Amino acid sequence: MTTSSDSPATKEAGATLLQRHAASAWNPHIVVFACNWCSYAGADTAGVSRIQHQPHFRMIRVMCSGRIQPGFVLRAFEKGADGVLVSGCHFGDCHYIFGNERAVEQFEKTMNVVKLLGLEQGRLRLEWISAAEGVRFAQVINEFTDQVRELGPSPLAIKRAAI
Amino acid sequence: MLVRQHDPEVEEVTILYTDLRAFGKGFDDFLQRSRDEKSATYVRGRPAKIERVPEDDTLEVFVEDTLGHQQKRIPADLVVLSVAAAPNDGAIKLADILGIETNEYGFIDRRDPAVSAVETVREGIYVAGSAVGPQVIPDCVAQASATAARAQLFLTGHRVTEEAKTVEPMDLSGPPRVGVMVCHCGINIAGVLDVEDLVEHARTVPDVVVAKNHQFACSSTGQDELVEIIREHNLNRIVVAACTPRTHEPIFRETCARIGFNPYLLEMVNIRDQCSWVHARQPAEAQVKARALIRMGVARARHLEPLQEGEVPMTQAALVIGGGIAGIQAATDLAAQGFPITLVEKEGRLGGRLAAPNLKYLYPNMRPAAEVLAAKLKRLKESGARILLNTEVENISGFVGSFDVELKGETEESLSVGAIILATGADLADPQGEYGYEKLANVVTSEQLERALFENEDAVIVDGRKPTSAAFVLCVGSRDPEACTGCSRYCCPTAIKQAIHLCRQGIDTTIFYRDIRTISTGAEEMYRQARGMGVLFVRIPPGQKVEVVGDGRVEAVRCYDDLLARRLEVPADLVILSVGMRARQPETDKFHDMLKTSVGLDGFFLERHPELAPVETAVEGVFLAGTVQGPKDIVDSVAQASAAAAKASVFLAYDKVKQDPAVAVVDEAKCRACGACVDLCQFRAPELVRTADDTFAARVNASLCKGCGTCASWCPSGAIASKHFTDRQVHAMIDAFFAEEVAS
């Protein structure tokens, strides 16, 4: 992110994104990190039950939410994500006992950096979803997608568009 | 729902029915969702005739809507007949050859429909699935595994020694050469996504040398083609864009292993469960997503590393928790094969619900429960299983192959087992004061009536009197969307069984129901018999409840009769609440905490897959037997228990269990020996060791590491790599998502 936000090129590309947002022709880019045992399984449950939800997210599976380090989330924002959802098992359900509690600590660290970067806090969310909660998975995705859509293109994505 | 998904232009779908028999686990939820989404209009009635309309060459269905009380003409372009399951043409001939019997319909007879899950009349010949009558897939699969358990009884002493690996590992070195196979999954994927376009897109992704499609990648032809393209194109990475890795990765990995292609160089991309199935209404967006997911999968595949599976010792013994019919059956099946089995029961006796005074007779053939239980207990005793009564499980730690169990009770001991079967059963719903329960003396549950049968079978006495009229209320505590409870399966046949019993004593009997779900063998015949005897069946609308009238004692039951379309008052001096099953507490919470086996929204333990793995859990080495997984009757519990035993013996037959090589590995050169990982890990896998150059570094014991990767994300020096989920692999996926799309 070396490009200055004041350069004419950036302004133009950024303006395009913002225009599309204003014209409701813009869809957010969302990265969802999910643990293998609960939230990824919950997304599969939504699939088996054909519970429809918004398609603007891409899932990255890891074994445990404890694996989701700040660097993953920050890289997603750096590359142009408008929102990042970190998900794992409910407390007490973690396949690895306390992995999700470590995930909370990692998440808090990440959130601090996100604030430092000047991004809205609403672009990053932490959710617990069990393997059975297909309906909840779909709800979380829909809510988060709407929330990020409301926030509009990420300032980092606008900058990146110009590079 | 599928019609609407695949053809949004269809205006109206009507389903004609008599009873909605959504009896399986989660089926009622499914039905509800279909109603909520207005995917179909449900009309209760049988079509009188179907006529062709010559003007526009369509059809018209004439039906009396028995709930709306009007005659209807339903226009239709297509009429689908839901035909009954009938016996195979050759069933009778086959039965003849095998010397087994068929029933009046031509289905193969079980030895005893009340309890024989898979036994035919002839020892050594077993039957599974729809050969005995119509079945749903989860029950067929459980029965199929149960037949395996029975067959194993004749193969006692059979142990498997892993034969030396004969497959020469393929040389997979060099720069990535990725092959992509995109699966149609029939119309599951191809009905929403343009598979050809996905194949074209895959060809443009860096390092992809070949991309193909296949109707069903997981079929044997699909697997063969996979092998073919690996060999033909000298591939060293494979990406399969199909369904979820959680169910199908093992299948593709096995194919890879078979030809010496390291299974960890395979990547699965989930374009079905998490794309075509959930974004069917936005096919264009779904296509964009599927393209991105394939790019991300290839990006990850390029950075995958070959891994070698390790082995840890398998303790060839199992623990069965719960001494009801399911626990007894599972313990017997395993112990009879010669495995050391411990069966723990918290009560002072075995038999659970089958034991007196809970159940007197079993439907459909009124087999005395005591007789069945005695025979099962005799087999259990002969099997050599160790039985611990008045004993509870205090704690369980460890993993498949070596679970450490602490028992408390008559004996206090620590036990090491390789596999665990949960058979802790279910509770019956508490009516919680509804329908005058516990306020009016002659309102009882179906269980209490069963107990009354023990005291005086020929003249049932409740609250000191012999009733002259009885009313059964079905679905008490079942089929309640608020409580996420589904159909309890056993209550319809049980109520009919009990009604027949009361009717024989000259008691006027009425059954208040929502749908009659006589789904088990012989239950439909019981239903017919009961109607013939004069038992009245009154259909009540969903969402409405019968009203119990009386002061101190019930005198009558009032309700709206859905079929007569008017309010009724039926005299009753006995009301029986047919209570549904609930997940047993506190056992469910307790074992969920100890074993981390998932629990469904209905509160019951969640099977790994309803059709593919109905008795397994997501936790390796932990199996489900009986009602711990969901409501079911005796015969289905027995089938599931045997299936659980068969699945457990797959592990117990080996003296080693394969270990996932996707573990954490420390780069000693980068490690500062801070010990953060040592403090963090719940499995004590990392430890600080003295290195060759006389400094300290962390080292991860691969046989203790479970591969969660938390230490890798925690390590302040970035010295720990989480194999198969490395930083580089995850970063590559993120980058690939945005590689093409962000500018658009």
The residues spanned by each domain of chain B are 2-76, 91-155, 178-305, 318-428+583-657, 434-580, 664-722
CA distances (Å), origin B506, targets B58, B72, B441, B538: 53, 41, 21, 19
The answer to whether B724 and B304 have CB atoms below 8 angstroms apart is: yes
Predicted confidence (pLDDT) at residue A18 exceeds the cutoff of 90: no
C-alpha distances (whole Å) from A18 to each of A155, A161, B150, B434, B535 are 10, 11, 67, 59, 71
Neighbours of B679 (CB within 10 A): 10
- Which residues, 6+ apart, have CB-to-CB distance to B533 below 8 Å? B500, B503, B504
Domain extent listing, chain A = 28-162
Question: Chain B neighbours among A 104-133 (CB < 8 Å)?
Answer: 106, 130-133
A138: chain B residues, CB-CB within 8 Å: 278
Mutate to test the interface with A, among B730, B735, B740 (most CBs of A within 10 A): B730
Whether A61 contacts chain B with CB within 8 A:
yes
Q: How far is CA A90 from the centre of its chain?
A: 18
Q: How many CB pairs under 8 A join A and B?
A: 166
ipTM of the complex: 0.93
At residue B535, the 3 state secondary structure works out as coil
Closest CA to B638 of B270, B151, B87, B115: B115
**What tens digit of pLDDT does each residue of B191-228 get?**
999 999 999 999 999 999 999 999 999 999 999 999 99
- Say which of B26, B273, B708 has its CB closest to residue A96: B708
**Of A109, A150, A142, A154, nearest to A32 (Cα)?**
A142
Lowest mean pLDDT among B161-165, B499-503, B594-598, B599-603: B161-165
**Chain A closest CA to B641's CA: distance in Å?**
23
Q: What's the rounded mean pLDDT across residues A66-74?
A: 97
- How close A133 gets to chain B, by Cα (Å)? 7
Distance of alpha carbon B122 from its chain centroid, rounded? 30
Contact map slice: A 15-44 vs B, CB within 8 A: 27, 29, 31, 36-38, 40-41, 43-44
| B195 contacts B189 by C-beta, under 8 angstroms | yes
Across B627-634, average pLDDT: 96
- Res B457 pLDDT > 90: no
Neighbours of B176 (CB within 10 A): 18
Burial class (CB in 10 A: 0-12, 13-18, 19+), A41: buried
| Contact flag B280-A53 (C-beta cutoff 8 Å) | no
Spatial distance between the Cα atoms of B134 and B105, rounded to a whole number of angstroms:
11
Question: Cα B118 to the chain's mean position, in Å?
Answer: 19
pLDDT digits (tens, 9 = 90+) for B499-508: 999 999 999 9
Q: Report in angstroms the alpha-carbon separations of A104 from A91, A96, A123.
A: 10, 14, 16
Residues 6 or more apart whose Cβ sits within 8 Å of residue B148: B643, B646
CATH topology of domain B434-580: FAD/NAD(P)-binding domain (3.50.50)
Phi (first) and psi of residue A147, to 5 degrees:
-60, -45
Do A66 and B713 count as a contact with CB atoms less than 8 A apart?
yes
Q: How far apart are CA B302 and CA B305, in angstroms?
A: 9
> The tokens of B744 are what?
């658009």
Concatenating the DSSP letter of every residue in B716-742 gives TT--EEETTS-HHHHHHHHHHHHHHHT
Rounded CA Rg of chain A: 16
Cβ B709–A67 below 8 Å, yes or no? yes
| B318-428+583-657 and B434-580, same CATH topology | yes
Measured in angstroms, the CA of B710 and the nearest CA of chain A are apart by: 4
Distance CA B234, CA B53 (A): 61
CA dist B670 and B676 (Å) reads 14
Q: Is the pLDDT of residue B744 over 90?
A: no
Q: Cβ–Cβ of B734/A31 closer than 8 Å?
A: yes
Residue at token pair 């350069």: A7
Asked if residue A5 has pLDDT above 80, the reply is no
Per-residue model confidence (pLDDT) at position B484: 82
| CB-based contact A102 B680, cutoff 8 Å | yes
How confident is the model at residue A92, as a pLDDT? 84
The tokens describing B95, both together, are 């039965």
Residue-wise pLDDT tens digits, B521-554: 999 999 999 999 999 999 999 889 999 999 999 9
pLDDT, average across residues B259-281 = 96
At residue B284, does pLDDT exceed 50? Answer: yes
Quick: pLDDT tens for B384-394.
Answer: 999 999 999 99
Phi and psi torsions of B522, nearest 5°: 85, -5
Give the Å distances, CA to CA, from B196 to B68, B182, B739.
48, 9, 21
* B contacts of A160 (beta carbons < 8 Å): 742
Helix (H) or strand (E) holding B415: strand B413-417
pLDDT recorded at residue B741 = 59
Q: Residue A8 above 70 pLDDT?
A: no
Backbone CA torsion sign across B111, B112, B118, B123: negative
CATH no. of B178-305: 3.40.50
Residue pair B423/B625 in contact (Cβ under 8 Å)? The answer is: yes
Length of chain B: 744
Q: Which residue has the tokens 């109707």?
A: B215
Inform me whether the C-beta atom of residue A160 falls under 8 Å from chain B C-beta atoms.
yes
Report the C-alpha dihedral over residues B19, B24, B25, B30, rounded to 10 degrees.
-50
Residue partners of A33: CB distance under 8 A and separation at least 6: A59, A60, A62, A65, A68, A72, A73, A84, A85, A86, A87
Report the Cα–Cα distance between both ends of chain B, in Å, rounded: 33
Over residues B478-492, the mean pLDDT reads 91
B742 confidence band (pLDDT: 50, 70, 90): very low
Which of the four pLDDT bands, split at 50, 70 and 90, describes residue A1?
very low
Question: So what's the pLDDT on residue B476?
Answer: 95
A95 in contact with B at a CB cutoff of 8 Å? yes
Residues of B in contact with A66 (CB under 8 A): 708-710, 713-714
Phi, psi values for residue B378, rounded to 5°:
-65, -45
Interface test with B, best of A74, A86, A97 (most B CBs within 10 A): A97
Q: Which residue has the tokens 């010295």?
A: B719
Q: Which pLDDT score, from 0 to 100, does residue B350 have?
A: 97
State which amino acid sits at residue B83.
V
Task: Please name the residues in contact with A163: beta carbons below 8 A apart, sequence gap of 6 or more.
Answer: A3
Q: Which of A126-135, B561-570, B639-648, B733-742 has the lowest mean pLDDT?
A: B733-742
pLDDT of the residue at A9: 57
Cβ-nearest to A31 among B286, B722, B737: B737
Contacts of B279 in chain A (CB under 8 A): 52-53, 55
The verdict on A47 touching B (C-beta cutoff 8 Å) is yes
Indicate the CATH number for domain B664-722: 3.30.70.20
Question: Regarding beta strands B402-409 and B391-399, do their DSSP bridges make them parallel or antiparallel, or are they unpaired?
Answer: antiparallel
Torsion angles phi and psi, residue B442, rounded to 5: -105, 30
Mean pLDDT, rounded, of chain B: 93
The architecture (CATH level 2) of A28-162 comes to: 3-Layer(aba) Sandwich (3.40)
Topology of the domain comprising B318-428+583-657: FAD/NAD(P)-binding domain (3.50.50)
A137 token code pair: 């998975």
Report CA torsion sign: B449, B454, B457, B461: negative
Q: How far is B696 from chain A (nearest CA, A)?
A: 25
Which of chain B's residues have a Cβ under 8 Å away from the Cβ of A46? Answer: 274, 278
DSSP code string of B435-478: GGTTTSTTEEEHHHHHHHHHH-SSS--BTTB--SEEEEEEEETS
Task: Check residue B611 and give its pLDDT.
Answer: 87
3-class secondary structure for B453-464? Answer: HHHCCCCCCECC
pLDDT band at B493 (very low <50, low <70, confident <90, very high): very high
pLDDT over 60 at B513, yes or no? yes
CA distance B120 to B126: 6
Strand stretches in B196-236, DSSP E: 208-214
Contact: B593, A92; criterion CB under 8 Å: yes
* C-alpha distances in Å from residue B198, one per residue of A121, B367, B652, B722: 35, 59, 43, 31
Q: Say if CB B469 and CB B571 are below 8 A apart.
A: yes
Among the listed residues B178, B160, B159, B91, the one whose alpha carbon sits nearest the alpha carbon of residue B127: B91
Q: Pick B380 or A3 by higher pLDDT.
A: B380
Q: For residue range B707-732, list pLDDT tens digits in order.
A: 999 999 999 999 999 999 999 999 99
Two structure tokens written together for B516: 């009659």
> How distant is the Cα of B706 from the closest Cα of chain A, in angstroms?
8
pLDDT of residue B677: 96
What confidence score (pLDDT) does residue A69 get? Answer: 97
- Report the gap between the CA of A137 and the closest CA in chain B (Å): 11
List, for residues A85-116, the tens digit of each pLDDT value: 999 999 988 989 899 999 999 999 999 999 99
CB of A161 less than 8 A from some CB of B: yes
Q: Which residues of A touch B1 (CB under 8 A)?
A: 50
Which residues of chain A does B273 touch, with a Cβ-Cβ cutoff of 8 Å? Answer: 43-44, 47-48
Rounded distance between C-alpha atoms, residue A35 and residue B66, angstroms: 49
Tens of pLDDT, residues B668-690: 999 999 999 999 998 889 999 99
- Per CB-CB distance under 8 Å, the chain B contacts of A95 are 596, 618-619, 706, 708
Residue B617 predicted with pLDDT over 90: yes
Q: Within 10 Å of residue B703's Cβ, how many Cβ atoms?
A: 15
Tell me what pLDDT residue B159 has.
61
To probe the interface with B, which of A36, A67, A142 has the most B CB atoms within 10 Å?
A: A67
Shortest Cα distance, chain A CAs vs residue B593, angstroms: 7
Task: Indicate the average pLDDT of chain A.
Answer: 90
Identify which of B150, B158, B480 has the alpha carbon closest to the alpha carbon of residue B339: B158
**Closest alpha carbon within chain A to B716:** A69
Q: Do A66 and B601 touch (CB under 8 A)?
A: no
How far is the alpha carbon of A35 from chain B, nearest alpha carbon, in Å?
A: 9
Q: What is the pLDDT of residue B157?
A: 56
**pLDDT tens-digit series, residues B78-95:** 999 999 999 988 899 999
Q: Where are the alpha helices (DSSP H) in A1-98?
A: 8-22, 39-48, 70-79
Q: What DSSP assignment string belongs to A92-135?
A: TT-TTSSHHHHHHHHHHHHHHHHHHTT--GGGEEEEE--TT-HH
Q: Collect all residues with Cβ–Cβ distance below 8 Å to B559 and sequence separation of at least 6.
A: B512, B538, B540, B544, B545, B546, B547, B567, B568
Confidence of residue A3 (pLDDT cuts 50, 70, 90): very low
Confidence at A2, pLDDT banded by 50, 70, 90: very low
Q: Note the pLDDT of residue A7.
A: 58
Interface contact flag, B714 A46, Cβ < 8 Å: no
